[in-house]
Structure 1
Amino acid sequence: MRTVTAYSLALLSLTLVPLMSFGQLLPVPTLPSAVIDKLDQSVSRNAERLQALKQQRLLNQQLQQTLTLKATLLDPLLQLPAVVPVLNSAGLLVWNDIEVENGLRAVEREWLLLLSIAQWQQLLTTTPELEIYVQSRTELAMLGLQLVKIQVPVELDSVDALRKTLSTLLAPYLSRNYIYQPQAANQASTVTDVQASTETATQAGRATTDQITAVQQVVKSETAAAMCDNPIRLGMIDTAIVADHKALPIAKKRLALIQRNFLASDIPSSYSHGTAVAGVLAGNNDQLKPLLPSLTLYSAGAFYAQNTYQQGATLDSILQALNWLVGQQVRVINMSLTGPDNPILQEVVSRLSKTQTILVAAAGNGGPAAKPLYPAAYSDVIAVTAVDKQLGLYRWANQGDYIDFAAQGVKVLTTRADGSVGIESGTSMATPVVSAKVACMLAATPELLLDQVLLQLQQQVIDLGAQGKDPQFGYGLVSRP
């Protein structure tokens, strides 16, 4: 039914007035109650529309201000020079961390081959000159493969050149030795992240009032309940962890920490990111309550310092770390890191999936328009995004169909490498929440397979954003019980 406007009502009332002499007054007729109700509803709807437009305009202004501020801050990763020398503890050059095609980073002129012994022998038979470029061969026994590292001259430093000069058979096994980054906000952008964490570009990026109300008793602070009290074995690939941090209860035997370093040639370890992730999992003091109070944590240290704020891990270190963790018989591996797609990493992820080893990875902090990042974007990996305490999507979180679940990852209180407790943000901080949840599910029901774990998680989460799975929140929120 068409809305009756005030103008229409005025015309209607005039038609009801009988002709009379000038100056004669008549009482204004009383409008039917149904018309008044319609008019009230129309006024209310228009007021709501105006308020919504005002709020949307304010959100757009806040977004533009935030993006402007972000652009003015120096992002240490973006400021990395084209060549970053990686030195050992004696100050000697081990390799150069360089920018390669598509803005990615890799070890200079270094390539990896991942294949079986039989495949390697076949390659040497057809391409014997390949052996002169070999730097190392590492057996990855738990994966049933070997990793061959080669260093090539400048004229061969591309996939096309290697295929053309050496062999087209290399393609399925070949990748640059790419460099991967952790996914926590660096301290240089803390101000921006704090402002942005509570803002979203559209109403679709923020939980509704009903959703917030529904989880007020579920999404709690760092003093919330543990994910479970069962003894848990969990693996992670990250920086090294500060083992003597007072908030990590190793001395009290509530956290068993087994660390192994996969950095080559006496390169100094980085500690900041891994210590923060460990704090989310097991931090325990007056400020922190652990997700997993009875945890055996197998930590594979693979990251070196690129600069004051950023760390990098080479693909070969990550592969060796995965091989070691499989040997430790952990079924859940936390990977709060991202990097490019490549056939070698994809092959390893596929093999691990077939052994029912579950990888939980950070979705990435590249922003809503960023390309998918890996390993999170592989279908066999659980991809985790971050939300704040108001259930707003983390401003710099990647978005896409590969996002599986969300967890709190903004302004998270956790342990720091300097021995303090501080606030960290990023999809890296959300990932251990989901890892802990999956590990608890497997501890309670060890026979669960990956597909069953995913199905149970989908049934237990709180849906956020659009109904069902969406590119921002995935299936929904994983939180402490």
Structure 2
Amino acid sequence: MSTFTLSSMALLGLGLLPLTANAQLLPLPPLPSQVIGTLDKTTERQTERLNALKQQGLLEQQLQQSLASKATLLNPLTQLPNIVPVVNALGQTVFNDVAVEQGLRAVEREWLLLLSTSQWQQLLTQAPELESYLSSQITLTQLQLQLIKIRVPSQLDNMAALRLNLPELLAPYLSRNYIYQTQTAEPLAHQETANPAPTDKALATTVPAAPICNQPITLGMVDTAISPHHSALTQTAQFALLQRSFLAEGIAISYAHGTAVAGVLAGRDKQLNPLLSSLTLLNAGAFYAQNAYQQGASLESILQALNWLVSEGVRVVNMSLTGPDNPVLQQVVTGLAEQGTVLIAAAGNGGPAAAPLFPAAYPQVIAVTAVDKRLELYRWANQGDYIDFAALGVKVLTTRADGSIGMESGTSMATPVVTAKIACLLAAKPELDLSQIVQQLQQQVVDLGVPGKDPLFGHGVLVRP
């Protein structure tokens, strides 16, 4: 049996120790064994309770650390160096794709302004030194705004330095020329081919689903280029493809991601049935290869791509890409939405603890997450109040740039399902605005998670017929 004692000073302070005349302590009589046993049990219970609380706190801390780690997990195959030179066919560097603040990437020393002609002239009057930094100036005809690119000295290549050296009124219109990325979560070259493992044979040999609709549809994509040589994407009376590149001359064109997305929309093969049976697809090629597995697009290229698509009469645009919020992109998204353009974007593959990604997180954009065939959420999908709808995006059979058929996963693969749904809806009811489109789609969903809209599935899952 263990013993239980209190310090003499403590007992003295409680008036429990008798004093002699010369203030010497008298011996304390032993406590009864029954009292000692009760105190032992009480102490053990309190110790166990404290240990349990401590362990619970540690587990919660570990969970938060794990989620944060997964949100920023880097595959050593796909981790980019701080500087990625983007070169032309002669091996000359056209620009440097560099790591900048907050783990983002941008074109080195390049900044963008989106202004009216009068605003730009006013700015030059107040800060004439800007003209010496001017790199290019183009008109986004659909918005009647000037997209101005400036190239600054290295010592000014941060917002704090620019604020000190340029007029304060510039800040709301200024952004880095950020780099955005496609949203297939795993290296495209490493995913399964059309001869999958035995556990996936059922998926590969399932009879393809029916098209979402049979009306003639026109829609746009901002993506990599699409391989024009894939047999499943051969142009026919049912499928027309118009492509335009927005890369600087001589930069190697990437085909991987755009070919996969186009295969979901339009692929025809014994293993594939298109989402849209009669499609005219306008593809704006804005992405270059960052390495063997990843593709990047500058904000400048994306804005020019959107302007071209809308100028060609496209109303519905698929954007299986993500990147940072910034005032220039937000201004374009808002302006196009006011004109009736519907943008559908991948929510992102950052994981459940990741910050919102853009353009999906803008309220004028339909944000799409991914589920598997069991309607379970894709484990790497972003979550948040901005999620609008979910669709199949895990182990999706589609076209590959090398001419094969294979499986791809990610919110990029789910996005064209929702894009096709919206395109079909507008073909039947072109008068619908964005809020009415969302209301119509809500009537088609399988509501998962908590009833109504939630941060995991949005309003619910949109399923092919």
Equivalence for 2:44: none
Aligned in 2, Cα 1:99/1:70: closer, same or farther, shift over 3 Å? Answer: closer
Which of 375, 383, 388 in structure 1 is aligned with 2:372? Answer: 388
Could you report, residue by residue, the CA deviation over 1:418-467 in whole angstroms, capped at 9, with x for unpaired residues? 00000000000000000000000000111111111011111221101111
1:365 aligns with 2:349: yes
Question: Contact conserved, 1:76 with 1:310, CA < 8 A, in 2?
Answer: no
Amino acid at match of 2:229: D
Equivalence for 2:221: 236
Could you report, residue by residue, the CA deviation over 1:123-147 in whole angstroms, capped at 9, with x for unpaired residues? 0000001000011001111111111
- TM-score, normalised relative to structure 1: 0.78
Question: Contact conserved, 1:229 with 1:293, CA < 8 A, in 2?
Answer: yes
Aligned-partner Cα distance in 2 for 1:382–1:434? 9
Mapping for residues 71-470 of structure 1, pairs under 5 Å: 74-77=75-78, 79-187=79-187, 190=191, 223-250=208-235, 252-470=236-454
Deviation at 1:266, TM superposition (A): 1.8
Deviation at 1:71, TM superposition (A): 10
Aligned in 2, Cα 1:73/1:262: closer, same or farther, shift over 3 Å? Answer: closer
Aligned in 2, Cα 1:457/1:91: closer, same or farther, shift over 3 Å? Answer: same
Aligned-partner Cα distance in 1 for 2:72–2:361? 27
Aligned-partner Cα distance in 2 for 1:70–1:346? 24
Aligned-partner Cα distance in 1 for 2:94–2:105? 16
Aligned-partner Cα distance in 1 for 2:66–2:437? 41
Question: Contact conserved, 2:72 with 2:354, CA < 8 A, in 1?
Answer: no
Runs of 4+ in 1 over 6 A off after TM superposition: 64-73
Question: Contact conserved, 1:76 with 1:307, CA < 8 A, in 2?
Answer: no
| Aligned-partner SS, 2:402 | coil
Aligned-partner Cα distance in 2 for 1:123–1:113? 11
| Aligned-partner SS, 2:458 | coil
Amino acid at match of 2:217: I
Could you report, residue by residue, the CA deviation over 1:312-362 in whole angstroms, capped at 9, with x for unpaired residues? 000000000000011011110000000000000000000011011000000
Amino acid at match of 2:161: A
Could you report, residue by residue, the CA deviation over 1:146-181 in whole angstroms, capped at 9, with x for unpaired residues? 111111011111112112102111111100000000
| Aligned-partner SS, 2:390 | strand
Aligned in 2, Cα 1:413/1:256: closer, same or farther, shift over 3 Å? Answer: same
Amino acid at match of 1:243: P
| Aligned-partner SS, 1:313 | strand
Higher alpha-carbon deviation: 154-163 or 171-180 = 154-163
| Aligned-partner SS, 2:394 | coil
- Which structure has the larger Rg? 2
Question: Contact conserved, 2:228 with 2:234, CA < 8 A, in 1?
Answer: no
Equivalence for 2:23: none
Aligned in 2, Cα 1:65/1:107: closer, same or farther, shift over 3 Å? Answer: closer
Aligned in 2, Cα 1:99/1:69: closer, same or farther, shift over 3 Å? Answer: closer
Aligned-partner Cα distance in 2 for 1:238–1:143? 21
Aligned in 2, Cα 1:366/1:221: closer, same or farther, shift over 3 Å? Answer: farther
Aligned in 2, Cα 1:474/1:168: closer, same or farther, shift over 3 Å? Answer: same
Aligned-partner Cα distance in 1 for 2:220–2:82? 33
Question: Contact conserved, 1:365 with 1:427, CA < 8 A, in 2?
Answer: yes
Aligned in 2, Cα 1:75/1:472: closer, same or farther, shift over 3 Å? Answer: farther
| Aligned-partner SS, 2:232 | coil
- State, as a whole percentage, how many aligned pairs show the same letter: 66
- TM-score, normalised relative to structure 2: 0.81
Aligned-partner Cα distance in 2 for 1:291–1:221? 15
Amino acid at match of 2:273: K
Aligned-partner Cα distance in 2 for 1:183–1:374? 12
Aligned-partner Cα distance in 2 for 1:151–1:282? 40
Aligned-partner Cα distance in 2 for 1:67–1:413? 31
Deviation at 1:190, TM superposition (A): 4.6
Aligned-partner Cα distance in 1 for 2:149–2:210? 46
Deviation at 1:73, TM superposition (A): 8.1
Could you report, residue by residue, the CA deviation over 1:175-230 in whole angstroms, capped at 9, with x for unpaired residues? 00000000012337759xxxxxx9xxxxxxxxxxxxxxxxxxxxx95701101000
- The gaps in structure 2 that reach 5 residues or longer are 1-64, 193-198, 200-204
Question: Contact conserved, 2:86 with 2:93, CA < 8 A, in 1?
Answer: yes
Deviation at 1:259, TM superposition (A): 0.2
Could you report, residue by residue, the CA deviation over 1:378-431 in whole angstroms, capped at 9, with x for unpaired residues? 000000000000011000000000000000000000000000000000000000
RMSD, aligned α-carbons: 2.2
Amino acid at match of 1:144: Q
| Aligned-partner SS, 2:171 | helix
